[in-house]
Structure 1
Amino acid sequence: MKKILLSSLTALLLLMVVGCSSDSSSEASADDQNTEGNETKQTITFGVTPWTSTVPPTEIARIIIEDMGYKVEETQADAGSVYVGLSRGDIDVFMDSWLPAHNVYLEKYSENISDTAVSYDNADAGWVVPKYMEDVNSIGDLKGKEDSFNNEMYAIEEGASATKIIDEAIKGYGLDMKQINSSEGGMMAQAMRKMQSKEPVVFYGWRPHTMFNKFDIKMLKDPKGFFDTASVHVITNNQLKEDAPDAYKFLSNWSIPIDDVETMIGKIEDEGMKPEKVAQNWIDNNQDKVNKMLGK
């Protein structure tokens, strides 16, 4: 009887061990399947220049791409460095490429980067003065008046393609002026100080930007054609199309009205709203546009 009981207990123990092993294998298999089914997609990196126009489109695209299951990172850099990052594969997307000003980068890195979509057109850029300077309506009108501006023209950071064009314009119009480079915020702060005391001031301006809503300013005519009306594009690293085809498809369909970008900049800069909240509000109120970009 003892032998029978011992044999029964042994058999039962073996069954329990086998059962547990089988369960563990099943659970492991299920876990493997779950891991495969919920596999985290690659990280997509956005290049972000220190311009207010870069923020709203980047935030909107980030939220939508994260909803696709990707991890998104942002790299802060000047325009030249962003294009270098794109060419090396360190950066995947840049939402704020200004053409034709940035054509030099597209040509230089053409083997590794692609012009993927037009974000918006009619983005004017050039030299700006306050409207109280009634006798200055063209860049050429500055000649002979340079000393009243302390021979200075305020612009954005060195390395931006616009700074090269500004130097070309100074030479082309024969102006005795020097370009003073700073961040966008530094440039605007300097211009504001001058405008508050109604002093002569000339600086670099572009749309979309809240400067045209906040200040009584005008874009100077450029008869020599140094500054063209810009078209803002989305640029991607060539590898993105293969590595993240759904994200690439979304970006290739990207489009947003310039007025919407300008409104969002105002909410961020003037009203102090968080960029991600402003971007999410745009997505919620423009689901038809989002669906179209997603190909739905």
Structure 2
Amino acid sequence: MKKVLLTLTIILLAAFAAACSSETAETEEGTAGQSQKTITFGVTPWTSTVPPTKIAGLILEDMGYEVKETEADAGSVYMGLSRGDLDVFMDAWVPMHQNYLDKFEGKIESTAVSYPEADTGWTVPAYMEDINSLEDLKGREGEFNNEFYGIEKGAGASIESDEIIEAYEFDFTQVNSSEGGMLAQAQRMMEQEKPVVFYGWRPHTMFNKFDLKVLTNEKGFFETSSVEVITNSELKENAPEAYEFLSNWNITIDEVEKMIVKIEEGEDPVAVAQEWIDNNPEKVAEMKGE
């Protein structure tokens, strides 16, 4: 009887161990097979970043992903992408942001082009008829109180603006602030038709609200930008369906600008993004690969 009990005990223990081993293997296999289900967007404090981020986020949610947003300046967004803390940035300006792409080469990648031709650069109101290029500013800095108004420090545009001041030996000081602060100052001066030079870009409602011109230059600064989607290098493997959608992403600069106007007029950004999705079912399906 003791031998029988011992034998039964051994059999039961072996069966229990096998079950545990099988369950562990299934759990490990399931974990290994799971794809990333949370997509985190980096969001810079620029109005042009909001519409594409909201649209892409809503589509990814519809695909079954959880979507999060992290607000930061451009340098911090690229750092977050390189570390894997962020997955996507919808508003990269190339070649203006090429320094970030070079710095984090191998850790981040350009995944798609949103729109290929976005004007950007030092901007003046159209009433300054005799100022049409950067070269026209030389020797006239005093008319502008020796101040050029830019966006936040660390942004690619601010870095390049400092390079312009050095290259042309301008007697300008760059005054940095938020996008809103910069535009508020420019607007105050334009309302009095005073000389003012500041950083401008499309898509942006400033070109809808004011008669502006982007200054040309002979030194190759602020080339026409390609606005691109940047992802961290692990997203393609960790979330292949999300990556495929983002790799097919594209939108027109006019569409983005119209959405920015609606948002600035008080409409909810999510509602504006959903309206675009509802009005473009074929394009959404194409981006999703359906």
Under TM normalisation by the shorter chain, which class is it? Answer: 0.7 to 0.9
Given residue 105 of structure 1, which amino acid in structure 2 is its aligned partner? Y
- Paired with 2:278 and 2:184, the residues of 1 have a C-alpha distance of 34
Instruction: Indicate whether 1:283 and 2:277 are aligned.
Output: yes
> Which residue matches 1:48?
43
- Paired with 2:261 and 2:119, the residues of 1 have a C-alpha distance of 18
- Paired with 2:46 and 2:122, the residues of 1 have a C-alpha distance of 17
Q: 1:40 Cα deviation (Å)?
A: 9.8
Q: 1:81 Cα deviation (Å)?
A: 0.2
Instruction: Indicate whether 1:172 and 2:167 are aligned.
Output: yes
Q: 1:138 aligns with which of 133, 150, 157?
A: 133
Q: 2:117 aligns with which of 107, 117, 122?
A: 122
Q: 1:221 Cα deviation (Å)?
A: 1.2
- Paired with 1:108 and 1:221, the residues of 2 have a C-alpha distance of 28
Given residue 248 of structure 1, which amino acid in structure 2 is its aligned partner? Y
Q: 1:57 aligns with which of 38, 52, 56?
A: 52
1:1-296 alignment runs, 5 A limit: 42-269=37-264, 271-296=265-290
Q: 1:41 Cα deviation (Å)?
A: 5.7
- Kindly indicate whether the alpha-carbon contact (under 8 Å) linking 2:42 and 2:70 is maintained by their aligned counterparts in 1: yes
- Paired with 1:274 and 1:222, the residues of 2 have a C-alpha distance of 38
> Which residue matches 1:26?
none
Given residue 272 of structure 1, which amino acid in structure 2 is its aligned partner? G
Deviations along 1:200-223, whole A, 9 cap, x unmatched?
100000011111110011111112
Identity of aligned residues (%): 66
Deviations along 1:92-118, whole A, 9 cap, x unmatched?
000000000111111111121111001
Poorly superposed stretches of 4+, deviation over 4 Å: none
- Kindly indicate whether the alpha-carbon contact (under 8 Å) linking 1:127 and 1:203 is maintained by their aligned counterparts in 2: yes
Q: Which moved more, 1:275-284 or 1:103-112?
A: 103-112
- Paired with 1:266 and 1:59, the residues of 2 have a C-alpha distance of 15
- Structure showing greater Rg: 1
- Paired with 2:258 and 2:84, the residues of 1 have a C-alpha distance of 32
Any stretches of 5+ residues in structure 1 without a counterpart? 1-35
- Paired with 1:219 and 1:287, the residues of 2 have a C-alpha distance of 35
- Paired with 2:37 and 2:216, the residues of 1 have a C-alpha distance of 47
> Which residue matches 2:18?
none
- Kindly indicate whether the alpha-carbon contact (under 8 Å) linking 1:137 and 1:221 is maintained by their aligned counterparts in 2: yes
- Kindly indicate whether the alpha-carbon contact (under 8 Å) linking 1:128 and 1:218 is maintained by their aligned counterparts in 2: yes
- Paired with 1:131 and 1:257, the residues of 2 have a C-alpha distance of 25
SS of the residue corresponding to residue 185 of structure 2 reads: helix
- Kindly indicate whether the alpha-carbon contact (under 8 Å) linking 2:35 and 2:239 is maintained by their aligned counterparts in 1: no
Any stretches of 5+ residues in structure 2 without a counterpart? 1-30
SS of the residue corresponding to residue 92 of structure 2 reads: strand
- Paired with 1:173 and 1:137, the residues of 2 have a C-alpha distance of 15
- Paired with 2:43 and 2:283, the residues of 1 have a C-alpha distance of 23
TM-score, normalization: structure 2?
Answer: 0.87
- Paired with 2:122 and 2:274, the residues of 1 have a C-alpha distance of 33
Q: 1:42 Cα deviation (Å)?
A: 2.0
Deviations along 1:229-259, whole A, 9 cap, x unmatched?
0000000011111111111100000000111
- Paired with 1:98 and 1:286, the residues of 2 have a C-alpha distance of 25
Given residue 52 of structure 1, which amino acid in structure 2 is its aligned partner? T
How many correspondences in the alignment? 260
- Paired with 2:145 and 2:270, the residues of 1 have a C-alpha distance of 41
TM-score, normalization: structure 1?
Answer: 0.85
